[in-house]
Amino acid sequence: MATNESVSIFSSASLAVEYVDSLLPENPLQEPFKNAWNYMLDNYTKFQIATWGSLIVHEALYFLFCLPAFLFQFIPYMKKYKIQKDKPETWENQWKCFKVLLFNHFCIQLPLICGTYYFTEYFNIPYGWERMPRWYMLLARCFGCAVIEDTWHYFLHRLLHHKKIYKYIHKVHHEFQAPFGMEAEYAHPLETLILGTGFFIGIVLLCDHVILLWAWVTVRLMETIDVHSGYDIPLNPLNLIPFYAGSRHHDFHHMNFIGNYASTFTWWDRIFGTDSQFVAYTEKMKIGKKTE
């Protein structure tokens, strides 16, 4: 009975979204995107698309999303939005971070990306335009991937902070007490594999088209670089997402090496009380501002 009710609710919600979608004006970018997608399919093999295409998407988006926070350090006006104002970025740290990123991206992540093609072949994941999911289904599946990854990240990240193993793996990521965007994937190779597994679980369970791989990469990079940016920018559209952790939430974790273990949402930290110090700190800051 409950199952039938759930199916009915989801069916009704799907119909409602489809109806809203039918009322929206035609996307002027759809036709150029369709032409570009079909051109890609006509001129490149599935292996090239799944492997080198995924690598290009990851590298281009990673450094593109890092660019705003990188530029903020040169803009005096933006310094008021920096969370840890007493710990400015240094060229030495950023160069060290960049070199480790290149190693992780090409020596750890690229071999994993090479498996993307075999994954799509084994599960018969489509590439064609005619099987391209609608935007709302793509968004829903990305949200599902985010929930799965956030759950995996919370428990495995918390485990990596265990005193018996912290210094061997996760300590590398905490080398910079004041995070900056490019540091998002600065980590020990084992941590890249352990926490990165959460990224792929959602893909295995929810992927119905190769475009989801790239859409989920986009969402995940946008989120992790934002929370590592070191800046709390007003009117950040990501803060409109319910239960979104945000930069202050994760910055506190880097500043104190404890609590706030989730990657994207706040519910696991709230359920297990691992955000208690952050909540107390936030309340203290609010009181301090009122008395100024």
How far, in Å, CA of 211 to CA of 216, rounded?
9
pLDDT computed for residue 27 by the predictor:
73
Q: What is the DSSP string of 143-187?
A: HHHHHHHHHHHHHHHHHHTSTTTGGGTGGGGGG-SS--GGGGG--
pLDDT computed for residue 71 by the predictor:
96
> For residue 102, what is the enclosing H or E element?
helix 91-103
How far, in Å, CA of 98 to CA of 106, rounded?
12
How far, in Å, CA of 213 to CA of 106, rounded?
18
Q: Where are the domains of the chain?
A: 46-291
Asked if 283 and 276 count as a contact pair (C-beta separation under 8 A), the reply is no
How far, in Å, CA of 126 to CA of 123, rounded?
9
pLDDT computed for residue 17 by the predictor:
65
pLDDT computed for residue 22 by the predictor:
60
Residue 209 neighbours by CB under 8 Å, 6+ apart: 125, 126, 127, 131, 132, 133
pLDDT computed for residue 287 by the predictor:
64
> For residue 272, what is the enclosing H or E element?
helix 267-272
pLDDT computed for residue 13 by the predictor:
55
pLDDT computed for residue 162 by the predictor:
95
How far, in Å, CA of 226 to CA of 231, rounded?
8
Q: Mean pLDDT per 10-residue run, the chain (292 residues)? A: 51 59 70 94 96 96 96 94 93 95 95 93 94 92 97 98 96 94 95 96 95 97 97 93 96 94 97 94 70 55
Residue 51 CB coordination number (10 Å): 18
Tokens of 115: 């498996």
